[in-house]
Structure 1
């Protein structure tokens, strides 16, 4: 199969082949959606043509990603990667490594193996003592036995700040050393990835009422951040509040409907907190007349549901932990982030699901989030490929919201990030579904009940990486 490589893929392959004459390990960091799997397949093809390897073994964090590897490698190599007789190798999940028998691991002794690791940040550790289960398999069974390894990551750090298997770090500052790096800003400039637009939703007047108090104490907060820091309300409480859901979903639907006027097959993703949450969101979507599907780890034939959505015409898909890193659905252009997970790693992986371009004209991706402090911080430093505070401190061995929105001020943010504060007050909402605009919260000590209400004065902040 003759394929056209992007410039970064060609450069990375050339560099890797040069490195492999001196060392067996190569680490590539490329922004989500840039085409890491295809690059890996083309590199494997070159190693086969140069008669440097016999087998290709690929490892990835999910079944969906494994399926993607099998399809891409088979297309590029013209040979199967399913592990059956006649195949050039096999792709399997990290979780599946511990169930492989001795005959599988002897492949590294009997053949020249090229081992590829997708999203290698899932595998921690440089030694058996300090590794996680997946990292231990790599350290013990692969790193000193494979002829060559290729470690891939779009987000090369771990939330627990542990070292990543097969990675190297500088001393004494502990910064990750990437053999090749292809960042988001470069990918946008090259037309490889869409330019993200992050819309952060806040509220000017949030009212919390203590309903069991004889005085009916009412406290007003000027922002979501103040509410979360100075009250019993948690971020997850907000995610289940209908007013918040209505506003986030409304903005997402308005934006996607606008995009679909030019790109009728464009789709949207809602990342939900749990199964109950996903179905609650789907009910709101259906009440508004939106087409949507729900996929969770309890969904029968979940992979088939994802595949049908990938090539179908359904507008929205609501997912819990199923459409994550490595899942390729290029028609996704809008995402509502409503997951309770608030690590920067997860945030960037969610954003990565809408960055992959499907044509020369779909150049923007839209992510809608709440103005929770951590999510706000992550949004403001998207232009940094590897934020400084994700360095491993020590390595131990053994104007585009809507045409009628009014921009109040605009400033240049750090590192290629544009920030605009927008007035997005809107009285429009989804069908109310019988909501009383309130939420009850039980305190752990006094078990006091509260009601939470939001004013109609929502405001949004637009952040864009350019």
Structure 2
């Protein structure tokens, strides 16, 4: 007799059948378990184990399927747009495993609802933040009229449909990993983080859907995501949907000059940094070189001086007076628009907030206060907000039609996410504008080129 069970993030195969043992011997990550007398593998190998036993004609008692295949008889009132249906069909055709890449504002949640209806099995949705968790729970409770469980935010309540943060899923996967037939990873690129990769490994869910606006990672970790969830099966970018399902948009680059004092400070600091790189043999072409510099700064005074000089130069070019002066003119020009100002600096956020009397959102802003600010932005009480990084993803941001990028990193993902914040179509069909302010003759020119 051969029996399959979920145990602590693994599939345990108990068998006294020599043919079953032979069928399992060639499978990746399936190992004999002398203690139990059977075989054991990470839970994600459940589908492969079942397929191998079926191919060998082995009868087996599948005690995992009872939980994962429960029919929830879900239905939806959503009419999927043509591209959403095409994405869903591509995912279904890929054996319900894979990643769909769609721009921010393209309705990835609606696509996930379609996938949940197609399978109608217990589903775990994994999201990066509490704000996004709240948004998903509201959406699913409204659409399906069923209780939705929550792992995270101080609550551990499981239902047939449960929404978890990545952190809570990491803690709970080895316990509940055999209870779901479908898992949806929102912002699936987060699985590139080493610790989070245990989440899909500990789940038996045969159906796996990853959602993201930016699948590929500079560190190549998207290749591991493809192994854990499935390959990218459908992809559209902003330009594919602009003017139809998303607003037309225009990116305007504005170059600003440093003041004489800023230029002197920048050139002096940049020279100190570059001269150290020449002496040390570091090229700063990769993150590992930066880590080496940080490590050396602990016991090498010249490395520490170079690191501090790099930070001074960065602060000058990202937070120049000319950028703030130009911002004043842009705010006056767009006084009737809804504006999000993006920065890479918390200090600059507060500087702008004080000067222009606009509400600030940073990582220091409490959850309740952030929600109040965004609610007032949504209902029109505020027409402008300024934020440092925290609105890039994982937060339900109300519609805006003008973005002003005062400073940011060279990340293409960050740029795409910020652009997506202003692309939801307006009733009047107007074009969204993203202004990108860049300090000329500084390293920011290279940073801006990388993110584009």
State TM-score, norm by structure 2. Answer: 0.64
Which residue matches 2:87? Answer: 12
The structure having more radius of gyration, on CA atoms, is 2
Which residue matches 2:356? Answer: 285
Which residue matches 1:318? Answer: 386
Deviations 1:144-194 (A, max 9, x none): x1121101110112233333443169xxxxxx95211122121114x1112
SS at match of 2:402: strand
Which residue matches 2:235? Answer: 181
Q: Identify the match of residue 252 of structure 1 among 315, 330, 333.
A: 330
Which residue matches 1:370? Answer: 438
Q: Identify the match of residue 46 of structure 1 among 118, 123, 131.
A: 118
Structure 2 unaligned regions, length at least 5: 1-75, 151-155, 276-308
Which residue matches 1:65? Answer: 132
Which residue matches 2:301? Answer: none
Which residue matches 1:74? Answer: 141
Deviation at 1:280, TM superposition (A): 0.5
RMSD of equivalent CA atoms: 3.4
User: Does the 8 A contact of 2:129 with 2:395 survive in 1?
Assistant: no
Within a 5 Å distance, the mapping from 1:99-138 to structure 2 comes to 99-100=171-172, 105-109=174-178, 111-124=179-192, 132-138=194-200
SS at match of 1:116: strand
In structure 2, distance between residues paired with 1:317 and 1:210: 29
Deviation at 1:68, TM superposition (A): 2.0
In structure 1, distance between residues paired with 2:259 and 2:349: 25
Structure 1 unaligned regions, length at least 5: 125-130, 170-175, 213-217, 220-224, 261-265, 287-291, 382-466
User: Does the 8 A contact of 1:239 with 1:245 survive in 2?
Assistant: no
Which residue matches 1:295? Answer: 361
Within a 5 Å distance, the mapping from 1:41-440 to structure 2 comes to 41-48=113-120, 53=121, 55-83=122-150, 87-100=159-172, 105-109=174-178, 111-124=179-192, 132-138=194-200, 140-142=201-203, 145-167=204-226, 178-189=232-243, 191-203=244-256, 207=260, 234-247=313-326, 249-257=327-335, 260=336, 266-286=337-357, 292-300=358-366, 301=368, 302-359=370-427, 361-370=429-438, 372-378=444-450, 381=452
Whichever structure has more helix as a proportion of its residues is 2
SS at match of 1:17: helix
CA distance 1:277–1:164, shift in 2 (3 Å): farther
SS at match of 1:234: helix
Q: How many pairs were matched up?
A: 329
User: Does the 8 A contact of 2:410 with 2:450 survive in 1?
Assistant: no
Deviation at 1:59, TM superposition (A): 0.9
Which residue matches 1:445? Answer: none
In structure 2, distance between residues paired with 1:33 and 1:64: 16
In structure 2, distance between residues paired with 1:117 and 1:137: 10
In structure 1, distance between residues paired with 2:345 and 2:263: 28
In structure 2, distance between residues paired with 1:267 and 1:210: 33
CA distance 1:368–1:252, shift in 2 (3 Å): farther
SS at match of 1:156: coil
State TM-score, norm by structure 1. Answer: 0.62
Q: Identify the match of residue 2 of structure 1 among 77, 82, 86.
A: 77
In structure 2, distance between residues paired with 1:326 and 1:209: 35
Which residue matches 1:172? Answer: none
Larger relative contact order (C-alpha < 8 A, sep ≥ 6)? 1
User: Does the 8 A contact of 2:104 with 2:420 survive in 1?
Assistant: yes
In structure 2, distance between residues paired with 1:105 and 1:211: 57
CA distance 1:365–1:320, shift in 2 (3 Å): same
In structure 2, distance between residues paired with 1:360 and 1:164: 41
- The 4+ residue runs of structure 1 with deviation greater than 6 A are 209-212, 228-233
CA distance 1:308–1:106, shift in 2 (3 Å): same
Deviations 1:340-385 (A, max 9, x none): 4332222222222112224361342323332522343246x4xxxx
